Structure 1
Amino acid sequence: MQSPCLKKVTELCLSACWPDPLHKQSEEHHRTISDSGSTSAACRRDFAATTSSSIFPNTEFTNHESLPSLQESFTDFTKVYSKYHETEQVDQIRAKEYSHLSQSNHTCLDYIGIGLFSSSQLHKHESSPQVSSDFPFFSVSYKTGSLKTQLLHGGQESELESAMSNRIMEFLNISANDYSMVFTANRTSAFKLVAESYPFKTSRKLLTVYDYESEAVEGMINSSEKRGAKVMAAEFSWPRLRIQSAKLRKMVVSKRKKKKKRGLFVFPVHSRITGSRYPYVWMTMAQENGWHVLVDACALGPKDMDSFGLSLFQPDFLISSFYKICGENPSGFACLFVKKSVVSVLEISTSTGIVNLVPAKQLLQIAGDSSGTDTELEQICRLGMQLDALGTASSFSGLISNHTTQATRLKQERSERAEEAANWEEIETSSEIWSSEKHANLMKDENSRSSGNGDLEVVCRGLDLVDSLGLMMITNRARYLINWLVSSLRKLKHPNSEGIPLVKIYGPKIKFDRGPALAFNVYDWKGEKVEPILIQKLADRNNISLSYGFLHHIWFSDKYTDEKRRILEKREGGVKGTGANKFKAKSDLGITVVTAALGFLTNFEDVYRLWAFVAQFLDADFVEKERWRYTALNQKTVEV
């Protein structure tokens, strides 16, 4: 059942999906792009048609007990997507490096991003008595100051921070010659830093392209408005939620001939909620019409930057985020990249959000290692007190304090243990990141290594594994899984004469180049929506982590007027649509949805489990049964 075009379209996609809009090519090159683009379009259509007709053909499921088993479904899945077997390396990596996902029987579909480390990297060594096995590789501490000053003059960057920034820029293919980078506490902090430093007095407008409510974008809007910005937003046509091109073009294109900077254009590449991908030509159009461009790359897949064409578009700002370990530790940080040629236009502002990376385990290891020098032990005492004063990672501060109180005792024991310490040729350490060159040289090949010139090179095994898989394998795997899930969810129908669909999907349906994210709602047999937060809670009880979001800026044509009245809802805490709040009042109308995000480690069992869970809502009494069961369990717990 596999389309013969699928392999060819994959090879053509990078060159033909987004042809270079900036440069004039020769006629021969134009013909090549045109021919490959035509073939690509045909293969995309063929892929969608094959998926629609081959996933449970001529079948509708009206009872959750009638669903085929996991094994039966997987067999049919691999018949449709025969090349899925070529992604078995991902399953091997998942089993070896992220075994907790299988051992806990947990399906993690509630966030999107890029993981720095693998689970095995954390748990490979026996933990020290003082440090729990889930102790983070590093902590962060906030620092105040101006973003512009930080970018122009920098600060005292630790060896850890330097090594980490080098690794991330290498992973994202970002040149240090063109961009400067700062670590921020999270995505929201990065957006706010730009808003507080951007010259809205001279470049008045802020234009965003988001089909969903984003805490980070809302924070940017609020900060920008306070500084005098005029806020605008793209709208999305119902029902497919495609960009309203005519309206956006009118906002982007300048009628003035003079090339004056108009403001900040914030472009997310694709929606982290609906999976909609947006044409890159909007960035080109914005740049040509005097806008500074901020690219939100937080929703990009682990290797999507390889196909982004950063050298072609050269955005003025780029934001990306990283978490620590998939399915186990989603904490982490964000990275704000600023084009060096743009730094001079920023304004000095005192803001928060920039952070330092603190190598926690290094301090603990030195404190527990009698071979540490007096200077190192004194540094532990000093750094421990500083971190405690900052309130950085309370558990971390407490552990540091425990070790610093031992500093004097360790120094007294030094002479007695000097001979023993000298014989420690092989040191097995639980530390994942070391910024001491001496300790880095003792490491063999596990968690950090010397680059040969004294600089520390951080081993982020999560990133290394992604690099080993490559763009094509990761993209193809996600494409097969997300399209199977969409197709299968649409096969669920209530067992009544009307045949009401159980699931409503928002944004793209079955599509070759849709993103690995899904927004949907579940409806009962009466056609009433089941609240997304309830679905999230019930899914959590089934060891499936989902999230929910709010779609907004939706535009309805006249023929959807009745549907607009029926489905739009008001966001809690919304404002009245008068005066200066008219823009906010409009964005307060939208649709609350359940969301699922597929990562590069997602396997078929994960999407099958979600499908089987949602199918349970075909039982008209499912919610009541779960509510009764939950109440009964709680009562039993209280009695015990």
Structure 2
Amino acid sequence: MGGALYPESLVRIHANFLSCNILGNTHSVSNSSKLSLKCADEARQAVLAYFKASPSEYTVVFTANASAALKLVAESFPFTGGSKLVIGADSHNSVHGIREFAAFKGAQTCYIPSTPLGGFDISMAKNILLRNRPRSIDLTPSLFVLTAQSNISNSKIPLSMSEYASSLGYHTLVDGAALAATSILNVSDYPIDAMAVSFYKMFGYPTGVGALIVKTAFLAQLKRPWFAGGTVDVVQVPGNIVTPAFRPHEQFEDGTINYLQLPAITHGLRFLTAYMPFLPLRLSCLLSYLSASLSRLRHDSSGRPVVQILSRIPTQRVRIVGEGAETGTLVSILFLGPSGEMMPNSFIEYAASTKNISLRTGCMCNPGGAAAILGITEEMQQLYPGVTLSDFERRMGRELGVVRISLGLASNFHDVWRVIKFAKSISQELSLRALWGQWIENQKSEGERNR
């Protein structure tokens, strides 16, 4: 589903901590507040250490999620009339949304097209970055937003792209939400100005906490459009004078931070640190077995394939501990009927739920990546203002999106085997007919309830 299953030990440790301590709002000087502040600082240090971000160069701004971290940069970046925003088409909507802030300030958004397998062609991306390079780093600040790993196409883009963009004068922002869940990420190895992450994707708990790992020098160039409690030291009322909070990260943490949950970040990163060196090797084996098994499935009534894999499949497996994988660890697929037609994703989702299997279906909030792997990029260009998903699907004559199977920290062979066993049930005519009949009846019942 795109979120890690939280470890029992992490929840137990955190619950015990909360049972034995009283935490208070960090905007005070009481003992409980001092403890909260100490825990928050420890969490910041743990994040910097985990991502190998130099404390002398970077700081951590805690946010509600990765989207909120991206928005912090988007709303504060000093776009001007001559600025450029360069984005890969295969990106999350929270990245695409940055174009709204850019357009409001008169900047131009330039897209790097996706390949049919997602991601983008490196030489084409460099050419687009070169053609749109900032005319003046100071007068026309420009931003390159890199999706390090696609959440639908399984493509990885090398972080070294930030080196090329930086050499041209771009600031670089990385969406690391998908990549950080299964890959070791050393921020200081690259000229990355800021990176957004989400902790529930990494180790399951807690939700509602993300972070922007950001250079303090870059943070100083961002101009916030407002201020809030916690971000200021003195506010003149009535009047116009505002003195920002002293510490840079405090100027970007609106209101009260999630101080009850931040100690879990420290424990969660400690837990993940122990497993991460082994994770790519284990997940590479599981992904290889899953994709190969799904590819071999055939309908017993026609001999046609049951599954079409649309996402990028690695060309080689990880062989040793500590080695990185060339792709992510997800599979985006379509289920095909005995005659080769696409089966509705809503049916697959329902059928899986009868087996207590949770599958994510749809476009994964990544319309560019979805259009690329579904082969509907041209149709995407013909959309009009006010169009709805239902309108788009009627025009295409089918449900849009994919079925996504994501492997992560807690995934094991039994999980993969159960998914393959479910897919086999779709390949068998008798079980397929039974599931289809149940789905039709369920739709009728839901329709009657909604009247």
- Distance in 2 (CA, whole Å) between partners of 1:265 and 1:202 is 16
Shift of 1:315: 0.6
1:625 lines up with 2:439 in the alignment = no
Match 2:2 to one of 86, 106, 111: 111
Residue 539 of structure 1 corresponds to: 352
SS of 1:626's partner is helix
One-letter amino acid matched to 1:268: T
Shift of 1:280: 3.1
Shift of 1:496: 5.4
SS of 1:544's partner is coil
TM-score with structure 2 setting the length: 0.73
Give runs of aligned pairs for residues 45-124 of structure 1, distance below 5 A: 110-112=1-3, 118-123=7-12
More helix by proportion, 1 or 2? 1
User: What do the CA deviations read for 1:337-360 (whole angstroms, capped 9, x no partner)?
Assistant: 221222232223127874634455
One-letter amino acid matched to 1:215: N
Query: Could you list the runs of 5+ residues in structure 1 that have no partner in the other structure?
Result: 1-109, 144-155, 362-431, 434-457, 579-584
Residue 504 of structure 1 corresponds to: 308
1:178 lines up with 2:57 in the alignment = yes
Give runs of aligned pairs for residues 544-623 of structure 1, distance below 5 A: 544-550=357-363, 552-553=367-368, 564=375, 575-576=384-385, 592-620=401-429, 622=431
- Distance in 1 (CA, whole Å) between partners of 2:22 and 2:163 is 38
1:488 lines up with 2:301 in the alignment = no
Residue 256 of structure 2 corresponds to: 356
**Contact in 1 for aligned 2:86/2:110 (Cα 8 Å):** yes
One-letter amino acid matched to 1:466: L
Residue 343 of structure 2 corresponds to: 530
Shift of 1:175: 2.1
Gap change, CA 1:354 and 1:522, over 3 Å in 2: farther
> Aligned residues: percent identity?
23
- Distance in 2 (CA, whole Å) between partners of 1:257 and 1:326 is 39
Shift of 1:119: 1.6
- Distance in 1 (CA, whole Å) between partners of 2:335 and 2:327 is 21
- Distance in 2 (CA, whole Å) between partners of 1:355 and 1:526 is 57
- Distance in 1 (CA, whole Å) between partners of 2:64 and 2:272 is 24
- Distance in 2 (CA, whole Å) between partners of 1:553 and 1:231 is 15
One-letter amino acid matched to 1:340: T
- Distance in 1 (CA, whole Å) between partners of 2:56 and 2:295 is 49
TM-score with structure 1 setting the length: 0.53
SS of 1:482's partner is helix
Gap change, CA 1:275 and 1:285, over 3 Å in 2: same
1:222 lines up with 2:100 in the alignment = yes
| Greater alpha carbon shift after TM alignment, 183-192 vs 617-626 | 617-626
- Distance in 2 (CA, whole Å) between partners of 1:158 and 1:142 is 5
Match 2:40 to one of 148, 155, 161: 161
Shift of 1:252: 0.4
Residue 333 of structure 1 corresponds to: 209
Match 2:112 to one of 234, 251, 254: 234
- Distance in 2 (CA, whole Å) between partners of 1:215 and 1:228 is 20
Gap change, CA 1:509 and 1:299, over 3 Å in 2: same
Shift of 1:282: 2.0
- Distance in 1 (CA, whole Å) between partners of 2:338 and 2:130 is 47
Give the superposed CA RMSD. 4.3
Residue 63 of structure 1 corresponds to: none
One-letter amino acid matched to 1:224: A
Residue 271 of structure 2 corresponds to: 465
- Distance in 1 (CA, whole Å) between partners of 2:310 and 2:96 is 22
User: What do the CA deviations read for 1:195-247 (whole angstroms, capped 9, x no partner)?
Assistant: 110011166211112425x2312332333322323112221222x33513454
**Contact in 2 for aligned 1:160/1:357 (Cα 8 Å):** no
User: What do the CA deviations read for 1:149-198 (whole angstroms, capped 9, x no partner)?
Assistant: xxxxxxx9822322221222222222221112211111221111111100
Residue 424 of structure 1 corresponds to: none
Gap change, CA 1:192 and 1:257, over 3 Å in 2: closer
- Distance in 2 (CA, whole Å) between partners of 1:282 and 1:163 is 31
Gap change, CA 1:285 and 1:235, over 3 Å in 2: same
- Distance in 2 (CA, whole Å) between partners of 1:234 and 1:333 is 30
SS of 2:62's partner is strand
Shift of 1:288: 1.1
One-letter amino acid matched to 2:37: S
Match 2:188 to one of 311, 314, 317: 311
Indicate the structure (1 or 2) with the bigger Cα radius of gyration: 1
Residue 479 of structure 1 corresponds to: 284
SS of 2:341's partner is coil
Shift of 1:492: 1.0
Higher relative contact order, chain-length normalized (CA < 8 Å, sep 6+): 1
SS of 1:341's partner is helix
- Distance in 1 (CA, whole Å) between partners of 2:16 and 2:41 is 26
- Distance in 2 (CA, whole Å) between partners of 1:243 and 1:461 is 36
